[in-house]
């Protein structure tokens, strides 16, 4: 099953398209825990999982350090990042130029 479909199942994650990081601070049920698979599991587990986690930590530390970068959206809206196709991996509309930001 597609991880996109698993992560947007309204029965497991109420209001799946709403940005709500607090949902992870509330009680996590077994169904929610079982369906969260950002890197897959088992023999087909993502080989770059440890590298991705290290990169996320480094990027977040740089962006949110005191007197860090200021980010501003540039010629980007929600339609540029919203999933429109699932060709083995989730992709936005084919004409999307991706997420573009100005770093100040």
When pLDDT is averaged across residues 83-101 and rounded to a whole number, the result is 84
Has 40 been labeled as part of a binding site?
no
User: Which pLDDT score, from 0 to 100, does residue 56 have?
Assistant: 94
User: Which pLDDT score, from 0 to 100, does residue 52 have?
Assistant: 93
Q: What's the token pair of residue 1?
A: 């099953």
Identify whether the C-beta of residue 103 lies closer than 8 Å to the C-beta of residue 70: yes
Task: Classify each residue of 7-44 as buried b or exposed e, where b means 16 or more C-beta atoms within 10 Å of its C-beta.
Answer: eeeeebbeeeeeeeeeeeeeeeeeebeebeeeeeeeee
| Nearest Cα residue to 77 out of 95, 59, 99 | 99
Tens of pLDDT, residues 54-86: 999 998 898 888 887 888 889 998 888 888 887
Return the percentage of the chain with pLDDT > 90, whole number: 12
Pick from 6-15, 36-45, 49-58: least confident: 36-45
Query: What is the C-alpha to C-alpha distance for residues 90 and 84, in angstroms, rounded to an integer?
Result: 8
Q: Is the pLDDT of residue 44 over 80?
A: no
């Amino acid at each position: 099953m597609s991880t996109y479909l698993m992560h947007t199942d309204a029965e497991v994650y109420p209001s799946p398209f709403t940005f709500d990081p607090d949902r992870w601070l509330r009680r996590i049920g077994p169904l929610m825990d079982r369906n969260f698979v950002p890197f897959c599991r088992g023999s087909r587990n993502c080989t770059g999982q440890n590298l991705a986690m290290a990169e996320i930590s480094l990027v977040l530390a740089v962006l949110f350090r005191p007197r860090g970068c200021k980010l501003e959206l540039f010629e980007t809206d929600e339609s540029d990042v919203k999933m429109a196709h699932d060709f083995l991996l989730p992709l936005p509309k084919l004409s999307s130029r991706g997420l573009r930001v100005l770093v100040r």
